[in-house]
Amino acid sequence: MKICLFGGSFDPVHTGHLAIAQAAVTAAGLDRSLFLPAACSPFKTGRQHFFTDKQRVEMLRIAVAGIPQAEVSELDLTLPPPSYSWRVVEACRELYPQAELYWLMGTDQWEQLHRWARYDYLCEHLSFIVYHRGTAPQPRENTRAIFISGNHPASSSAIRKALSEGQLPPEEWIPTGLAGYLQQ
């Protein structure tokens, strides 16, 4: 079984996240995509989420409803802070001992991967799926990676900005069923 771990703030989830996950399923022949909302990234300490953990989980569940391979996992939210990816991978290896694990990330994360805690452990136990908008990033030695491209315009920060200003973001950025949730 091939399982993709898709960690992130998802603050909020948008259609770009879903499109990227679907592209990863297609490119790697994945059986399951686990959407893992992060509690607190070691690189973003001190930053508060716009939405609560409970809201981010609920929005993800609404967004992935009807997507057969997609599942929301609160695993990272239950681990001690900060959110180290190696802890998530370690827990997933215990939960899915026979699975081939992948980590889905953007180019910005790929470029910083060498700074992640227990980088060697991650490279040993994962293959990476790297989403980029344009020129593919450079491969890394001793790291298995699949590069996928796209150009989805949605942005969580732009959605948060619109909501802060009492506006709604572009409709095509909002997963089915979330428009009403965001207006609450």
Domain that residue 8 falls in: 2-153
DSSP 66: T
Q: What is the pLDDT of residue 181?
A: 80
In a domain, 166, yes or no: no
User: CA end-to-end span of the chain, whole Å?
Assistant: 39
In a domain, 52, yes or no: yes
How many Cβ atoms from other residues are within 10 Å of residue 88's Cβ?
Answer: 22
Question: For residue 34, how many C-alpha atoms fall within 13 Å in the half-sphere facing its CB?
Answer: 23
Residue 83 has pLDDT above 70, yes or no: yes
Total domains, the chain: 1
Sign of the CA dihedral running 117, 77, 150, 123: positive
Taking the C-alpha atoms of residue 23 and residue 179, their distance in angstroms, rounded to an integer, is: 24
CATH number at residue 16: 3.40.50.620
Residue whose entry in the numeric block shows the structure tokens 């607190």: 40
The pTM (predicted TM-score) of the whole model is: 0.92
In a domain, 171, yes or no: no
pLDDT per position as a tens digit, 137-166: 999 999 999 999 988 899 999 999 999 999
Q: What is the pLDDT of residue 46?
A: 57
In a domain, 61, yes or no: yes
DSSP 141: T
In a domain, 24, yes or no: yes
The full length of the chain comes to 184
In a domain, 70, yes or no: yes
Quick one: average pLDDT of 56-64? Answer: 97
State percent of the chain over pLDDT 70.
Answer: 95
Q: What is the pLDDT of residue 33?
A: 97
